[in-house]
């Protein structure tokens, strides 16, 4: 079996039968790009290694249609929900209340489960889904004999906060419903469930896969990038951009204050940055010869691969891309509403995988950001060693490890269990 994951479109389709294995991936997607990009990487890897299978991603992402999926992968978009800066959830588009939106999402997820009848289900991050919307479907899946997998990024939050959050939601009890728990990271770097009680009830289900290596996608012409990408440049990415205003402001101010910064920078705002802030930043960037910008690039891997080095906030997917394309990186993590990015960045800095620079406004250490502090970091960045020089064993084994772990369910040409539509159980 080959695990050289590529991201190409237009390849010859493998003949498929109605009884080939099926995979459903659930992603609640309330904020940013992280969840859908992680699920997309896993889905594309699975069909690259088991070309006869079908994968459906159920997602609330408003930008899922912007991404490229391999043959055998499709998606169902459920009504979106946004997480506000104060932690509240609200419907993204619908003019109905949150409760009605959750009920609608719950019914839609249940219908996909009943109709698609997956053999394997991978649930991204939330054991019971958003506000418990996945619970009815999990019960159906258990009765039908599906293999249910909880997929977790390397860091969720600080242990005490995760314990309280999962205790209140019922997520801890729901771990009993899962056959496997895949952690997309290394045990030696971080153990995201270490703070939970009753470890003996689920510890034997946990498998650390390694991080998810990303491939360079095939460009779709026309593929015109700004002028500065023709030579060495720094890629600045705040991910989805909804919480990246501070990072971008700090980088722009550094170039405004210090024209001696050697490498130019391309700033990619992300799809969730407000139009007003994007306009303000674009006006400032236009006055600085060493800066250019883009709004949103769904195939950010292409730019990451071109860049000499990277400045980012440190979300899981960006971290995977930095490792995959072996780029010197400066991580400026957020610390609110959770410490996930800061924990990851500090562990990675300790292992000499990346450099870290804390935002004093984010941490509360100051009310202003020093442009010259960022300028010094930008001048030093091109000289740091790439992550590969840290020699961390098994660092990027995640995608092949997932495929191997699911081989017993996906490698056969027909489904390994009785089809639910032929069984007496209807859900």
Please report, for the domain that includes residue 241, its CATH number: 3.40.50.2000
Do residue 157 and residue 233 come from a single domain? no
Rg (CA), the chain: 22
User: How far apart (Å, rounded) are the C-alpha atoms in residues 69 and 43?
Assistant: 8
Distance CA 225, CA 234 (A): 14
Is 82 a domain residue? Answer: yes
Which of 367, 334, 365 shows the shortest CA–CA distance to 242?
334
Residues 51 and 183 in one domain: yes
Please count the other Cβ atoms lying within 10 Å of the Cβ belonging to residue 120: 23
In a domain, 209, yes or no: yes
CA distance 57 to 43: 8
Q: Are residues 172 and 251 in the same domain?
A: no
Report whether 23 contacts 147 (CB < 8 A). Answer: no
Between the alpha carbon of residue 342 and those of residues 32, 114, 184, 315, 383, the distances in Å are 17, 40, 17, 9, 23
The count of other CB atoms within 10 Å of the CB of residue 114 is 15
**How far apart are the C-alpha atoms of 418 and 416, rounded to whole Å?**
7
One domain, residues 247 and 313: yes
pLDDT at position 224 is 74
Task: Look up the domain containing 45 and give its range.
Answer: 22-213+396-416
- Contact 317/326 with Cβ under 8 angstroms? no
Percent pLDDT > 90 in the chain is: 72
Instruction: Tell me the angle at which helices 245-257 and 371-380 cross, rounded to the nearest 10 degrees.
Output: 80
- Same domain, yes or no: 169 and 55: yes
Cα–Cα distances in angstroms (integers) from residue 66 to residues 7, 63, 302, in the given order: 15, 6, 15
Number of separate domains in the chain: 2
Tokens of 406: 């699911």
The answer on 382 and 290 residing in a single domain is: yes
CB neighbour list of residue 230: distance below 8 Å, 6 or more residues apart: none
pLDDT at 146: 97
Same domain, 209 and 246: no
Task: Give the chain's length.
Answer: 427
The answer to whether residue 168 sits within a structural domain is yes
Q: Is residue 290 part of a domain?
A: yes
Q: Flag whether 378 is in a domain.
A: yes
Statement to judge: residues 143 and 235 lie in one domain: no
pTM: 0.90
Residue with tokens 């209140």: 168
Residues 272 and 334 in one domain: yes
- Nearest CA among 107, 49, 44 for reference residue 73: 44
Same domain, 208 and 93: yes
Backbone region of residue 409 per phi and psi (left: phi > 0; alpha: psi in -120 to 50; beta: other values): alpha
323 upstream amide cis, omega within 30 of 0? no
Peptide bond connecting 66 to the previous residue in cis, omega within 30 degrees of 0? no
Q: Which residue has the tokens 């406004």?
A: 361
pLDDT (0 to 100) of residue 217? 74
Same domain membership, residue 401 and residue 377: no
Instruction: Report d(CA 351, CA 423) in Å as an integer.
Output: 52
Q: pLDDT tens digits, residue range 378-401?
A: 999 999 999 999 999 999 999 999
How many C-beta atoms surround the C-beta of residue 171 within 10 A? 19
Residues of the chain with pLDDT under 50: 1-11, 420-426
Is 175 inside any structural domain? yes
- The reply to whether 12 falls in a domain is no
CA 244 to chain centre: 16
Does residue 184 share a domain with residue 129?
Answer: yes
Interatomic CA distance for residues 38 and 42, integer angstroms: 6
Residue 427 is assigned to a structural domain of this protein? no
């Amino acid at each position: 079996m080959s695990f050289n994951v590529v991201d190409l479109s237009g390849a010859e389709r493998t003949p498929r039968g109605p009884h080939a294995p099926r995979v459903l991936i659930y992603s609640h997607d309330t904020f940013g790009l992280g969840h859908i990009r992680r699920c997309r990487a896993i889905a594309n890897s699975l069909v690259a290694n088991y070309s006869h299978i079908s994968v459906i991603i159920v997602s609330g992402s408003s930008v899922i249609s912007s991404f490229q999926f391999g043959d055998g992968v499709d998606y169902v978009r459920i009504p979106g929900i946004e997480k506000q800066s104060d932690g509240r959830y609200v419907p993204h588009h619908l003019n109905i209340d949150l409760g009605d939106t959750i009920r609608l999402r719950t019914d839609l997820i249940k219908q996909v489960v009943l109709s698609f009848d997956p053999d394997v289900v991978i649930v991204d991050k939330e054991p019971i889904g958003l506000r418990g919307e996945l619970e009815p479907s999990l019960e159906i899946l258990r009765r039908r004999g599906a293999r249910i997998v909880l997929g977790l990024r390397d860091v969720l939050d600080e242990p005490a906060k995760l314990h309280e959050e999962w205790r209140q939601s019922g997520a801890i009890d729901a771990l009993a419903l899962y056959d496997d728990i895949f952690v997309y990271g290394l045990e030696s770097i971080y153990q995201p469930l270490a703070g939970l009680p009753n470890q003996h009830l689920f510890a034997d289900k946990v498998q650390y896969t390694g991080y998810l290596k990303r491939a360079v996608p095939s460009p779709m012409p026309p593929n015109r990038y700004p002028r500065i990408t023709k030579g060495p440049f720094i890629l600045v990415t705040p991910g989805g951009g909804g919480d990246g205003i501070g990072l971008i402001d700090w980088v722009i101010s550094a170039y405004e204050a210090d024209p001696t910064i050697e490498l130019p920078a391309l700033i990619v705002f992300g799809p969730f940055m407000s139009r007003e802030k994007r306009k303000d930043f674009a006006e400032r960037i236009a006055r600085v010869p060493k800066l250019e910008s883009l709004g949103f690039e769904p195939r950010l891997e292409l730019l990451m691969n071109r860049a000499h080095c990277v400045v980012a906030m440190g979300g899981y997917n960006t971290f995977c891309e930095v490792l995959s394309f072996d780029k010197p990186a400066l991580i400026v993590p957020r610390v609110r509403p959770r410490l996930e990015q800061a924990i990851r960045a500090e562990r990675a800095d300790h292992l000499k995988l990346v450099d870290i620079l804390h935002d004093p406004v984010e941490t509360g250490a100051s009310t202003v950001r020093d442009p010259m502090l960022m300028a010094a970091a930008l001048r030093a960045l091109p000289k740091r060693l790439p992550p590969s020089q840290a020699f961390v064993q098994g660092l990027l084994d995640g995608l092949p490890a997932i495929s191997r772990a699911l081989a017993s369910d996906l490698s056969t040409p027909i489904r390994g269990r009785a089809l639910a539509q032929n069984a007496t159980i209807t859900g």
